[in-house]
Amino acid sequence: MLVAIGFAIVFRATRFFHFAHGIVFTAGAYFTFLFKAWLGFPLFFSILLAIPLTTLLGCLMEVIVYLPLRRKGSSSLVFLLASLGMYIVLQNVISMMFGDDTKTIRSGLVKEGLNVFGARITPIEILIICVSVVLVVTVTLLLKKTKMGNAMRAVANDIELASVSGIDSDRVILLTFAIASTLAGIAGILVALDVDMTPTMGMNALMMGVVAVIVGGVGSIPGVALAALLLGIAQHLGVWFISSQWQDAIAFVILLIFLLFRPQGFLGKKVKKATL
Beta bridge partner(s), residue 103? 197
Per-residue pLDDT, 275: 41
Per-residue pLDDT, 270: 63
CB 98 within 8 A of CB 26: no
Give 245's DSSP letter: G
Per-residue pLDDT, 123: 87
State the Cα–Cα distance between residues 3 and 76, nearest whole angstrom.
21
Q: Which amino acid is at 244?
A: S
Which stretches in the chain have pLDDT values below 70? 108-110, 267-276
Per-residue pLDDT, 218: 77
H helix or E strand, kind and range, residue 211: helix 201-216
Q: Which residues, 6+ apart, have CB-to-CB distance to 235 below 8 Å?
A: 247, 250, 251
Per-residue pLDDT, 240: 75
Helices (H), 61-168: 67-71, 76-98, 123-145, 147-157, 159-164
- pTM for this model (two decimals): 0.91
Q: Which residues, 6+ apart, have CB-to-CB distance to 89 below 8 Å?
A: none
CB 103 within 8 A of CB 33: yes
DSSP letter string over 23-34?
A: HHHHHHHHHHHI
Helices (H) and strands (E) in the chain, counts: 12, 2
Tally of CB atoms within 10 A around 60: 13
Per-residue pLDDT, 164: 83
